Amino acid sequence: MRIIPAIDIIDGKCVRLTQGDYQKKKVYRENPVEVAKEFEDAGMEYLHLVDLDGAKKGQVINWDVIEDIQAETALHVDFGGGVKTEKEVESLLELGVNQINVGSLAVKDPARFGDWIRVHGRENFILSADVMNEYIRIVGWQEDSQVKIYDLVHQLADSGLKYITCTDISADGMLQGPNFNLYRKLKSKFPDMKITASGGISSCDDLEELKYMKLHGAIVGKAIYEGKIKLDELKSVV
């Protein structure tokens, strides 16, 4: 299972939200690039990078941070936050971003997302599904959709969708454990999908349980920044 530390960006700074609430923002570090280097120095191979400004505004904003992390580390980066256009997709791939998370657009225009998967390859894209009670929220978690995650995955499967990152918003930032039942249900419905869990991970025991469930990956954010999980502990779980 991939252990994927997370960096969320607002105004070029490394932050975390609680349950997706932009009013509950905590700045942890001024320089996300330095944080990424620390992850790499600790032996991490992957990074989940989110442009929260971009997610809210519907276009990628923090290009400088993306470029600097790509230039100064060898981390395998999956990036998300406001990707809406073919030009943004091409620019991110040209920068060397390994995978692009698509959330709001996948809900609003699944046909276009399916076209991107077919044109650029299924390995380059992740369906980023942020859910509350199994319904997907969009626009940086600010708007409800009437779309259930299972229905959208079924729809996109015909386009070749392979990777899903599912965040349980109610668990995110709470440090009380992930929604294991949600991931069991996803895994049972879509056994061939590469599913990554996100939200609520607070201990190595949580990671071991997700690993036992044979998930593809687990994203760890606040637990690292709050010192609940040490970077050297993460290596033991991989």
How does pLDDT run across 128-169, given as a tens digit for each residue? 999 999 999 987 667 788 999 999 999 999 999 999 999 999
Label residue 237 by pLDDT band (50, 70, 90).
confident
Rounded CA gap, 51 and 179, in Å?
A: 24
Closest CA to 182 of 137, 221, 142, 150: 150
Active site residue 192: no
Q: Find the Cα–Cα–Cα–Cα dihedral 46, 4, 84, 19, rounded to 10°.
A: -160
* CATH, residue 11: 3.20.20.70
pLDDT tens-digit map of 190-211: 999 999 999 999 999 999 999 9
Rounded CA gap, 8 and 181, in Å?
A: 26
Distances from the Cα of 193 to the Cαs of 48, 97, 122, 132, 164, in angstroms? 19, 21, 11, 21, 7
Q: What is residue 174's predicted lDDT score, i.e. its pLDDT?
A: 81
Token pair recorded at residue 17: 């939200």
Q: What is the mean pLDDT of residues 115-137?
A: 96
- The domain in which residue 61 lies consists of 2-237
Q: What is residue 69's predicted lDDT score, i.e. its pLDDT?
A: 98
**What are φ and ψ of residue 68, in 5° steps?**
-70, -40
Total domains, the chain: 1
Kindly report the pTM of this predicted structure.
0.95
Task: Count other C-beta atoms under 10 Å from residue 111's C-beta.
Answer: 9
Label residue 126 by pLDDT band (50, 70, 90).
very high
Label residue 235 by pLDDT band (50, 70, 90).
confident
Rounded CA gap, 91 and 144, in Å?
A: 29
Rounded CA gap, 151 and 110, in Å?
A: 11
Q: What is residue 136's predicted lDDT score, i.e. its pLDDT?
A: 95
Residue 193 · residue 164 · CB < 8 Å: yes
* Direct distance between the N- and C-terminal alpha carbons of the chain, in angstroms, rounded to an integer: 6
Say which range, 1-10, 123-132, 171-180, has the weakest mean pLDDT. 171-180
pLDDT tens-digit map of 97-107: 999 999 999 99
Q: What are the start-end ranges of the E strands in the chain?
A: 2-10, 13-18, 21-29, 46-51, 76-80, 99-102, 125-132, 135-138, 143-148, 163-168, 194-198, 217-220
Rounded CA gap, 128 and 196, in Å?
A: 10
Q: Which of 51, 53, 78, 130 is catalytic?
A: 130
Active site residue 78: no
Alpha carbon 98 to its chain's center: 13
Query: 145 — alpha (psi -120 to 50), left (phi > 0) or beta?
Result: beta
pLDDT tens-digit map of 24-77: 889 999 999 999 999 999 999 999 999 999 988 999 999 999 999 999 999 999
Label residue 20 by pLDDT band (50, 70, 90).
confident
Residue 18: is its pLDDT beyond 90?
Answer: no
Closest CA to 70 of 7, 158, 149: 7
